[in-house]
Amino acid sequence: MNIDDLKATLNKHGGVAVNNRFHVIFTPPAQSLLNLDVQSVVSQAVSGGFNLKNLVNDPRDISLLCQKVNLPGRSLSTAEYAVEEQQNSYPYDYIDDDCKMEFLVTNDMYIRRMFDNWMEGIYSPTKHVVGFKDDYAVDVVIQMLNKQNVPIYGVRLEKAYPKAISGFDLEAGNDGLLTLSVDWKYDKFVPEGALSSVVSAGNAVLDLIT
């Protein structure tokens, strides 16, 4: 391999993509522009950590707190058939990988409360009632960014919702950071280019305002 040819190829395609620049954008179904979580506001006021910014749900908070996400892959389902004693395969469907995210947990339990409320909207443990999918599923946009923080590729998870959230391991003598893992289910993912991903992200933010 000629190193100069490799450098020229990398430069032609904008350099090597990195895995530590990304955005995750979605609006939880029960969330609005104003923070209506009374318990959270009172808790912040009692602890002395309240300010007027706590009354507004900033859509950037979710992306900033997301520390890890896997961009799902896709595989083809195939079936075997014989043609003149030779085995062949043909594709008939595709399977999308599950998606998992990891979030930093803040002292107001913002992320944990958000997903707790979301999952209760999917299935009520007190009423034993399952919600309507249109009421609890949202589109989730995952963007890969370049070093200038410009989207270069993205996927949109259609009709996504949290399937599982992790618990917390609390132990004396350990002052490590708390994180929350979330497993997602969705109907399908749609690959998006730079422009279409920006449009999808804008629509997700508009859902918060409207």
pLDDT digits (tens, 9 = 90+) for 126-176: 888 999 999 999 999 999 999 888 899 999 999 999 999 999 988 887 778
Residues belonging to the chain = 210
Task: Determine the Cα angle at 28 with ends 118 and 54, to 5°.
Answer: 100
pTM of the full structure = 0.81
Judge whether residue 33 has pLDDT over 60: no
Q: What is the DSSP string of 47-105?
A: HT---GGGGB--THHHHHHEEEE----EEEEEEEEEETTEEEEEEEEEEEPPEEEEEE-
Distance CA 122, CA 29 (A): 10
Domain ranges of the chain: 21-71+98-207
Q: Are the beta carbons of 200 and 139 closer than 8 angstroms?
A: yes
Q: What percent of the chain stands above pLDDT 90?
A: 38
Distance CA 202, CA 141 (A): 10
